[in-house]
Structure formats: C-alpha cells, structure tokens
Amino acid sequence: MMTGRFISLEGGEGVGKSTQLAALAEALEGRGVEVLVTREPGGSKGAEAIRSLLLEGEEGRWNPRAEALLFAAARSDHVEKTIKPALRAGKWVLSDRFLDSSLAYQGEAGGLGIDRVRDLHRFGSEDFLPDRTLVLRLEGGEGAARARHRDGEEGDRIGSRPPSYHAAVDKGFKAMAEAEPGRVRLIDASGNAATVTARLLYALGDLLP
C-alpha cells in the first residue's frame, strides 16, 4: 500500500532541474513532508552502476535499442529498491528524471517510437508511474545554450548531442503532456528561481497536504 507521493521532474538540457529539485524538496519539507530526492539513471546501487555505462564513453558506444534497454533496466532496479520502499514509508519521492525522459530522448528523439519505449517500461517496472510529472521548459533553445555555457562544449554523451536532437526531445515532452494532461504538466522555466519554484508548487496544489 503506497502512502507517499512520487513526483518526477523532467526537462531538456539547461532548464534548471537540479536547482528546482533542491528548492522543491526544501519547500515540501517546510510543509512537514518527509522527502527523498533521487535521480535517473541511478538512485539505487544497480542503477548507479548502469548510469556510468550510459553517460560515459563515445557517442556511438550504444545503439538506440541497447541504450533504451539499459535505461529500462536501471529504472526497474530504482523502482524496486528505492522508490517503492520510500513510498510505503510515507515519504514523498522527488526524482530528477524518470520514464518520460526515456520516452522523449530514446522514443521521440532517438527514433525508437514512444510506444515501443513505453512497452519496455511496462515489462521492466510494471508501468509504474509518478503521481505527477513536472516538465520544465524554455523556448527557443535557451536551455541548450545554458547547458553549453555551464559545461563548455563538453558534456555527457547524451547532453552533447546536436540541437536537432534536443528539439526533438522537447517535442516528445510536449507529446506526453498532451497525451496525459492529468499526470504531466509543462512548467515555464523562465524567470528567477523562486518564481519557477512557485509554479511547480502550484502544479502540485491538488496533491499537497
């Protein structure tokens, strides 16, 4: 019996996910909520081992199918070893990325198809979904420009892909929001950090204690 809440924070490169994840956790704790912050790929011992396989090395290290399978395997371990136990303990789990990143990155931008990647999740994690998915968005490639400024021209093997790839990622996130408006909410990531945090809290209003 799950008693906590599971919230995933999504978005393309450079939209401020790390900053907002910390701010959202602090805001929830201020309301008396016990929070566990985690990430994907990663969040459990097995998933962290897979993370290095996914994010390190040359661009061609994995073909798109292998990449999607590795993400699904990491997520399966993450769900069973970290997320579900925390929810049963009554915690709110905040994850930096979850399923919708795979749907947008490997499914839409990677050309595998959203439905095929979702099928992997149905098998690996029994289609376990967040209570709410918040997608931070910036218009006109501003996020990718921020990421390049932050990291230089070097990045991990996924983040350093070309602008056309990241435009397709954004398209994928918008498709998920249109398909599942009750779960997936698009959040304007422009403006100062406090304003963006307020938008996130507003989007969680019906779930807040």
Instruction: List the one residue out of 92, 93, 109 whose CA is nearest residue 101.
Output: 109
Residue 145: C-alpha distances to residues 9, 15, 55, 133 (Å): 20, 10, 20, 24
pTM of the predicted model as reported, rounded to 2 decimal places:
0.90
**CATH architecture entry for 5-203:** 3-Layer(aba) Sandwich (3.40)
Q: Does residue 36 contact residue 5 with C-beta atoms inside 8 Å?
A: no
| DSSP classification of residue 15 | S
Identity at 92, one-letter amino acid code? W
User: pLDDT tens-digit profile of 20-77?
Assistant: 999 999 999 999 999 999 999 999 999 999 999 998 888 889 999 999 999 999 999 9
Angstrom distance (rounded) from CA 177 to CA 191: 22
